Amino acid sequence: MIKDTIRIIVAGPRGRMGSEALQLIDRTAHFDLVAAIDRKNGGKRISDIDGLPSSDAVIYEDAKACLNEVKADVLIDLTIPETGYKHMKLAIEHGVRPVVGTSGFTEEQVKELENLSEEKGVGAIIAPNFAIGAVLMMQFAKQAAKYFPTVEIIEKHHDQKLDAPSGTAVKTAQLIQEVREPAKQGHPDEKETITGARGADVDGMRIHSVRLPGLVAHQEVIFGAPGEQFTVKHDSFNRASFMSGVELAVERVMKMDILAYGLENILE
């Protein structure tokens, strides 16, 4: 079956994820890179940048100008939280469907974007993690939390990551919150002698963020009960692990008219 071409803008094309997304577009017959948004190299073409695929797509530094001048169906954003949020709003206002992997949005920002997407009838996806295994790990964690409400999340990432906790850990905690009553964990009288020792507190469950060179993206969710422990774990060893999710999101967003927060909402 011949699929309709999907015209795509990528924001953050020089980044670890953005450059991987360009390769995905390059090898996918019905994906067409029509422009990129970067904070430098305005006016150049993607093929002018060392290490990026051969493409005539023009780079814009001004996101608004890009969306005004270029006909596009989807904006893939893989930048930083403040920029990703602005790009997402702009895209929806221009009728371009955003697929956003950028992490670090606040709950209020997600809510605002949900409302905007619904109001404009423009589909959108925010995926805290595009790796299918990570999505399953989050769903299994939610399922386990019904039976094991005492839980700690340990996420481990490369040391160039800007946000902590990771978007995946935040989403995991939110999914667990749907089935777990708030309850303080640990000893009722426990005290941190060094601030932060017990990690971030979400309704009494804890999130710990590890940042080390050599890591990519890893998370374990550890459930404890008297005499037993249950762990759900996922590892991304490279950024190719995220690309099947990006591809799926680009395909699915074309048929959507509201925002989905989390890839689990579009998996069949």
Ligand X SMILES: O=C(O)C1=N[C@H](C(=O)O)C[C@H](O)C1
Ligand Y SMILES: NC(=O)C1=CN([C@@H]2O[C@H](COP(=O)(O)OP(=O)(O)OC[C@H]3O[C@@H](n4cnc5c(N)ncnc54)[C@H](OP(=O)(O)O)[C@@H]3O)[C@@H](O)[C@H]2O)C=CC1
241 in contact with ligand X (CB under 6 A) = no
105 binds, among ligand X, ligand Y, none (CB under 5 to 8 A by kind): none
Ligand-binding site membership of 18 (annotated):
no
* 125 sits in which H/E element: strand 124-126
DSSP 44-94: -BGGGSTTS----PEEES-HHHHHHHS--SEEEE-S-HHHHHHHHHHHHHT
Does 84 appear as a known binding residue?
no
SS (H, E, C) 217-252: EEEEEEEEECCEEEEEEEEECCHHHHHHHHHHHHHH
Which segment (9-17, 45-53, 91-99, 179-187) binds ligand Y by CB under 6 A? Answer: 9-17
Instruction: Choose the stretch contacting ligand Y; rule: CB under 6 A; options: 102-110, 188-196, 205-213, 222-230.
Output: 102-110
Contact with ligand X (CB under 6 A): which of 217, 232, 249, 260? 217
Radius of gyration from C-alpha coordinates of the chain: 20
> Does position 103 bind ligand X by CB under 6 A?
yes
Gap between the Cα atoms of 147 and 2, Å rounded: 46
Q: Is 15 annotated as a binding residue?
A: yes
Determine whether the annotation assigns residue 168 to a binding site. yes
Cα–Cα distance measured from residue 214 to residue 161, given in angstroms and rounded to the nearest whole number? 12
Q: Is 60 in the site for ligand Y (CB under 6 A)?
A: no
41 binds ligand X (CB under 6 A): no
Q: How far apart are CA 104 and CA 164, in angstroms?
A: 8
Going by C-beta distance under 8 Å and a sequence separation of 6 or more, which residues neighbour residue 81? 102, 103, 104, 105, 162, 163
Instruction: Encode burial over 92-113: b for 16+ CB neighbours within 10 A, e otherwise.
Output: bebebbbbbbbbbbeeebbeeb
- Per-residue interface string for the shown chain with ligand X, residues 162-201, x marking contact by CB under 6 A: ----xxx---------------------------------
CA 126 to chain centre: 6
| Segment interacting with ligand Y, rule: CB under 6 A, options 47-55, 74-82, 178-186, 201-209 | 74-82
Binding window for ligand Y (CB under 6 A); candidates: 52-60, 68-76, 99-107, 219-227: 99-107
40 is in an annotated binding site: yes
Residues in contact with ligand Y, shown as a per-residue x/- string from 120 to 149 under the rule CB under 6 A: -------xxxx-------------------
- Binding region for ligand Y (CB under 6 A): 11-12, 14-18, 37-39, 78-80, 83, 101-104, 127-130, 242
Residues that bind ligand X (CB under 6 A): 103, 128-129, 157, 161, 166-168, 217
